[in-house]
Chains A and B, each alone.
Chain A
């Protein structure tokens, strides 16, 4: 061991060096703003010369990868002068590297930028994404999507308002968070697929009495709790309120009677034992694997599991939207769309980029997506799956979009909302917080955000 003074001196030298390094760094971080004031392109013509289009996507899993590879090839066949340089990364990888890549002098032309304020909002604020309204008009993109799906990819040009303003991207695939059911178990229990929310609760009670796990649920990963809460929330809160809440439009707050009622309902389900034992310690993957193994009557989660569940359960798995409170009313459901493809504002090839985005979301693309097991976000495609759970999901998607009844994920609401809502739902469902307390904790996050926004 060394004597202390020498060690201390070394330590001080290190700190000094660090301080010098600090001074050497550029003092104000961040790229200077890009092209908010650029004229918007609207030409549908692809340039004739040689074009290299760099695309960053995260379509790396099975069917996703197959569809994008096929569409890329077809695009290059259609425009032989265009070469697509594809950079494929996993979702997490893409999110971590995207900001640096897009703020580079030579950014990729097309990128998948996640919805919401932290990614797409930040990129729009920095002027790094090009508004696509001109192309949207020229190509007629508005006809392909329901309004909510377009809103989710829209920001005001300064990035302050989410859910309106200019369109900044298009998504290929849709997703719904609904209810999977084990049809064999429903038959055993002598139950039909419920038509109203009360029917659904009655089914949970019957399942519980029969000794089944009514809802298979694992919340160790924190995020599945959002789905459980919103599935219940849609029964008491209005869809327009939830959209205004997510997009921070008008005088909205989380402290509403409807939200307290939703929290009470969710907690009562926990107290009645409708969820898997110890769900806060069960991982999401274990939960759905158990459901696939025949443990549990219902599973509230997203359509991304359809292929996996069908593979393991065959015809024993079905899907329905959480039923409305009144029989015959339009069901409202939590849902959304895949990461939107956006064009960077510094791209040298905006027309080709727009043509590419058009190509991967047109009617032919919906067929390719359907064939590879995906749920195309653009509606009106002609292809549908033959049957089974995928057909249930297609039908539900058409229904939700024709009545514009998709409610966005509430964690889009503020940059910190994901942390707040997931932690709070864990507290609520562990009886660590009363419904009123839950609502006010969540509201604090929201209020603070609104104050920052209106500064």
Chain B
């Protein structure tokens, strides 16, 4: 339910409102205004069936005490109250927000850096670099999890081996089993997965910036840094908004990596809302409470992405 809501196809929304705006403003004489709906009907039907209806159903379930089979009983907002009161569930949401830094902020920063450096200098074999840097994005997450579990392994894991080999054995630790380091460790995996996407978006964006702008900046005596701040960054605003939207959604609905690496542990140090949804619904059998977490998560994702896009638009 979370997943489908989060991936609401933007095209449907855009087409819909575009069609509305057009029929009102410049409808040709005799054209039936409602005809536009006909065109989007097939997509809308599927969207309604597989996204809106399940989402609605989740909202309904979130007001019930329901184990998945026995008749549920209406308990109003009790699930939401528990969500706010329960420190473990609150903790899961806090962890998700921490992961936003690793899944969204860091990849965007790294992506910008790579895009700026790859597009500024003539790099031999640019396509090769781009492909290699993009690779993490196309590796299945299960494989990613296996790779990083190996990298972080306490005994023979390459990371700890490298630390010991360089005399930093004091820093070696069971990364995924350490109460302070497990969350950042999982976060770094997210950074590794996401930066490729950001980089590709930004490289594409940089290529459409007119070279005359760079020439003008250079004539004005701008160095690499000023050029980046005055030309590249402002012109990539839309790409940054897209990248942030995609990566923030990915970070907040993060389930696979947690499930495959730490199962929310050690203790509850890496538990996240999407994992809790799964856990409550399928392991504990509290479908109502799971729905409440899912709905809350969906609303948070919704609010944050609207916020990001508004900020991006307000400046344009």
Q: Tell me the A residues contacting B by CB distance below 8 Å.
A: 1-4, 6-7, 9-11, 13-14, 17-25, 27-33, 95-96, 99, 102-103, 117-119, 122-123, 125-126, 128, 219-222, 276-283, 286, 290, 415-416, 418-419, 422-424, 426-427, 430, 432
Contact = CB atoms under 8 A, between A and B. Distances in A.
A4 B306 CA distance: 10
Contacts, number: 189
17 contacts: A2-B17, A9-B20, A13-B16, A18-B52, A33-B70, A125-B69, A219-B177, A219-B265, A219-B266, A222-B263, A222-B265, A280-B178, A419-B283, A426-B265, A427-B266, A430-B179, A430-B267
Contacts of A422: 265
B286 A415 contact: yes
A19 B266 CA distance: 39
Given A29-B72, A122-B70, A14 B52 contact: yes
B23 interface: no
Interface in B251-288: 261-268, 279, 282-287
Residue among B61, B68, B309 facing the most chain A CB atoms (10 A cut-off)? B68
Contact of B56 (A22, A28, A424, A432): A22
B71 A31 contact: yes
B149 interface: yes
Contact of A21 (B53, B173, B279, B312): B53
A363 to B, nearest CB: 35
A28 B57 contact: no
Nearest to A285: B149
A3 B238 CA distance: 13
B158 interface: no
B13 interface: yes
B297 to A, nearest CB: 15
Interface residues of B, number: 63
Nearest to A221: B263
A11 B310 CA distance: 13
Contact of B153 (A6, A221, A286, A418): A286
Contacts of A221: 263
B67 interface: yes
B284 A25 contact: no
A302 B280 CA distance: 26
Contacts of A21: 48, 52-53, 55-57
A282 B174 contact: yes
A280 B55 contact: no
Given A6-B21, A25-B56, A278 B174 contact: yes
Contacts of B74: 28
Contacts of B176: 220, 281
A4 to B, nearest CB: 6
Contacts of B309: 1, 7
B310 A4 contact: yes
B57 A220 contact: no
Given A29-B64, A29-B72, A31-B69, A1 B265 contact: no
A122 B266 CA distance: 29
Contacts of A117: 285
Contacts of B313: 1-4
Contact of B241 (A1, A222, A418): A1
A20 B48 CA distance: 11
A149 B147 CA distance: 41
Nearest to A213: B155
Given A23-B56, A28-B73, A280-B177, 5 more contacts: A2-B18, A11-B306, A29-B60, A30-B70, A220-B149
Contacts of A219: 177, 265-266
Contacts of B175: 281
A274 B137 CA distance: 41
A345 to B, nearest CB: 12
Interface string B1-27: 000000010000110111011000000
B103 interface: no
A30 B155 contact: no
A440 to B, nearest CB: 15
Contact of A1 (B20, B56, B238): B238
B177 A122 contact: no
B174 A28 contact: no
A10 B12 CA distance: 10
Given A33-B71, A282-B174, A220 B312 contact: no
Given A4-B313, A18-B56, A432 B66 contact: no
Residue among A1, A119, A278 facing the most chain B CB atoms (10 A cut-off)? A278
B285 A122 contact: yes
B34 interface: no
For the complex of A and B, 5 pairs with smallest distance between CB atoms: A281-B174, A281-B177, A21-B56, A280-B177, A278-B154
Given A20-B56, A21-B48, A33-B71, A1 B177 contact: no
A2 B10 CA distance: 11
Nearest to B182: A281
B40 to A, nearest CB: 12
Interface string B166-183: 000000011111110000
A375 to B, nearest CB: 26
A30 B66 contact: yes
A13 B69 CA distance: 32
Nearest to B261: A220
B316 interface: yes
A150 B55 CA distance: 42
A13 B19 CA distance: 14
A432 B284 CA distance: 25
A355 B153 CA distance: 50
A21 to B, nearest CB: 3
Nearest to A427: B267
B233 interface: no
Nearest to A30: B71
Given A29-B66, A423-B268, A282 B154 contact: yes
A123 to B, nearest CB: 7
Residue among B57, B74, B155 facing the most chain A CB atoms (10 A cut-off)? B155
